[in-house]
Chains A and B, each alone.
Chain A
């Protein structure tokens, strides 16, 4: 199977740091992507990890541990505009990305 698991909701306050976890099934795993989707909008690509470790892009970072079949998206210095749904997506050899169920992040003032 190719199912992914992520928390359904996360709440944090402005200026805080939040981590959104994603676990996946290992069969044929190639890489993990993260997308952000605001209400009513389309998903936008944030990051991609194919190797273990941390990839940093401004306030957002993404981490992958292939041995643990686990990744996370780290959002620092949270802003109100970061309130959105975040999806991890798994890429398998010879196949397309499969998206997780999404995590809804609410940033409170």
Chain B
């Protein structure tokens, strides 16, 4: 069966510090991968998605970046965090053809 792992679960970082969140998927090949952000009590905003290794599409301009160094690994990064980067970050995967996403457990990031 397919599983998705996301870590860390919580993170408190000072303004200006770097960020690296990692997501890995097991039990499937060539998944579509996604990074979403959710502000408190709000909907999900798509940040990045990837249909293959090295292929990254950005939905929203920001100081975040994403990379997919391996088929089942998706990384969200920032060189310098802003206060506005605080939120709940969710990684998700879907098959190349299929109606639903499976989300990771999320990372709650607080920038102080």
Pick the interface stretch among B13-21, B60-68, B70-78, B101-109.
B101-109
B27 at the interface (CB under 8 A from A): no
User: Would you call B43 and A48 a contact (CB within 8 A)?
Assistant: no
**Residue positions of B touching A, CB distance < 8 A:** 34, 42-44, 46, 49, 90, 99-106
User: Would you call A96 and B34 a contact (CB within 8 A)?
Assistant: yes
Count A interface residues, CB 8 Å: 19
A71 at the interface (CB under 8 A from B): no
Task: Tell me whether A102 and B100 are in contact in the complex, defined as CB-CB below 8 angstroms, given that A42-B90, A42-B105, A42-B106 are known contacts.
Answer: no
User: Would you call A87 and B49 a contact (CB within 8 A)?
Assistant: no
User: Would you call B44 and A87 a contact (CB within 8 A)?
Assistant: yes
Looking across the interface, which residue of chain A has its beta carbon closest to that of B44?
A: A99
User: Would you call B42 and A101 a contact (CB within 8 A)?
Assistant: yes
Of the listed residues A33, A42, A50, A100, the one surrounded by the most CB atoms of chain B closer than 10 A to its CB is A42
Q: Per-residue 0/1 for A18-35: is the Cβ within 8 Å of any B Cβ (1 yes, 0 no)?
A: 000000000000010101
Task: Tell me whether A101 and B43 are in contact in the complex, defined as CB-CB below 8 angstroms, given that A42-B103, A44-B103 are known contacts.
Answer: yes
- Determine the chain B residues whose CB is within 8 A of the CB of A44 once the complex forms: 103
Q: How far is the CA of A50 from the CA of B99 in the complex (A)?
A: 9
